[in-house]
């Protein structure tokens, strides 16, 4: 399998969202009559799109708003919300920094320690609004923070790192044992990020109730340039979906996979579902919301790393309310608003009544799908030509 790239060395061809298209179904369905919800740990959510745990996207108020609209928004336990009592001035400073100074500034701002009292406070603020509280930490802090967030009333704990492997080797620090942690917590644990069949399957076997899929595709992520690692999201999602189905057949337990990153439009999100995703996680699409704390700016989770940043701060602008981005009416022509309308319309077009049906959509390799016949849009930088 694969093509020769040199003497004695083969490489597998992999695909991203811009290289494929979905084939319309022989039967179509009224978009108002499809079910675009998804289920995690026994609870059903109307919106299968999760807001990423990035400081320019999610704060307490955004998490509450997203929850009331039927979705999930992950609060970063190692961000500015847990380092500063009132981070508004800090966020403004990051948003207003020049591109040349942004990374250095972010590194400086993230130096004060995380305060456990703020972790508890933020979770309780979200819970007081009667919405799901979902929070994230890196593996090195997972054991400590897991107990804290469970006691504070969090509903879901996300352990997220650049690459989450079942076996991590280090002599410098204690390695997080995912299996022990998943068994010790009463709340469900979502783990990421993975991009291969074997890695996804192993995380499920350790007790992950959900697995995040994607290394380096995020709009503000520079991992692929800095480290040269990553797998295009269509292939990564297909491989992870195969692992999910294998695990389900073997155990009877269905563990959803969440495609994380690389999607900016409704079309990208629909392709992720057709590739096998149960839900998706996005950052830049929500960073454009009026309610997002970044003020139209967005930065990667690894940007603050003092030694080797794998993220940057980008400007995405502010285009509308969170409700408009999710449910419309769309005021933009490029597919970045009314994402739920796009999902339902695409589902109807391919004849899928549910997300599980959507995963069976015929996919074709079509690298010209976004440029074919779009010469005027490209020349005028409108619609798909932006």
Report d(CA 90, CA 107) in Å as an integer: 12
Q: Which of 221, 238, 270, 297 does the annotation list as catalytic? A: 221
Cβ contact 297:66 at 8 Å: no
Q: Is 221 in the active site?
A: yes
Q: Which residues contact 53 (CB under 8 A, 6 or more apart)?
A: 74, 75, 76, 79, 135, 136, 158, 160, 301
The residue to which tokens 């500015």 are assigned: 80
Q: Is 297 a catalytic residue?
A: no
Calculate the CA 82 to chain-centre distance. Answer: 21
Q: At what angle do helices 233-251 and 266-274 cross, to 10 degrees?
A: 40
Active-site residue identified among 223, 303, 312, 319: 223
Dihedral (CA of 372, 331, 60, 307) sign = positive
State the virtual CA torsion across 13, 159, 296, 370 in degrees, nearest 10: 20
Q: What is the DSSP string of 233-260?
A: HHHHHHHHHHHHHHHHHHHS----EEEE
Catalytic residues: 221, 223
């Amino acid at each position: 399998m694969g093509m020769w790239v040199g003497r004695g060395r083969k490489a597998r061809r992999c695909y991203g969202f811009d290289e494929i298209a979905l084939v319309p179904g022989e039967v179509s369905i009224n978009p108002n009559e499809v079910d675009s919800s998804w289920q995690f740990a026994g609870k059903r959510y109307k919106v299968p799109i999760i807001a990423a745990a990035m400081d320019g996207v999610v704060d307490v108020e955004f998490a509450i708003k997203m929850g009331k609209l039927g979705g999930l928004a992950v609060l970063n336990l190692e961000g500015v919300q847990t380092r500063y009592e009132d981070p508004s001035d800090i966020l403004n400073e990051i948003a207003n920094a020049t591109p040349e100074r942004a990374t250095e500034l972010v590194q400086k701002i993230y130096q004060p320690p995380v305060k456990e009292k703020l972790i508890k406070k933020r979770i309780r603020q979200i819970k007081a609004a009667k919405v799901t509280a979902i929070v994230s930490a890196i593996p090195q802090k997972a054991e400590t923070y897991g107990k804290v967030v469970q006691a504070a009333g969090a509903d879901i704990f996300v352990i997220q790192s650049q690459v989450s492997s079942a076996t991590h080797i280090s002599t410098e620090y204690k390695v997080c044992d995912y299996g022990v942690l998943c068994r010790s917590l009463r709340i469900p644990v979502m783990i990421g990020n993975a991009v291969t069949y074997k890695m996804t399957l192993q995380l499920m076997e350790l007790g992950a109730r959900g697995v995040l899929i994607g290394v380096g595709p995020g709009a503000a992520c520079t991992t692929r340039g800095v480290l040269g690692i990553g797998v295009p999201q269509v292939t990564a999602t297909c491989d992870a979906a195969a692992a999910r189905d294998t695990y389900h057949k073997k155990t009877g337990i269905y563990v959803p996979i969440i495609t994380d990153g690389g999607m900016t439009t409704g079309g990208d999100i629909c392709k992720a579902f057709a590739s096998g995703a149960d839900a998706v996680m996005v950052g830049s699409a929500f960073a454009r919301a009026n309610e997002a704390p970044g003020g139209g700016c967005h930065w990667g989770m690894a940007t603050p790393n003092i030694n080797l940043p794998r993220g940057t701060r980008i400007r995405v602008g502010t285009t509308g309310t969170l409700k408009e981005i999710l449910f419309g009416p769309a005021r933009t022509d490029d597919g970045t608003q009314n994402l739920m309308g796009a999902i339902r319309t695409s589902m109807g077009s391919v004849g899928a009544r549910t997300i599980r049906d959507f995963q069976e959509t015929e996919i074709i390799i079509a690298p010209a799908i976004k440029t074919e016949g779009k010469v005027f849009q490209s020349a005028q930088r409108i619609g798909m030509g932006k």
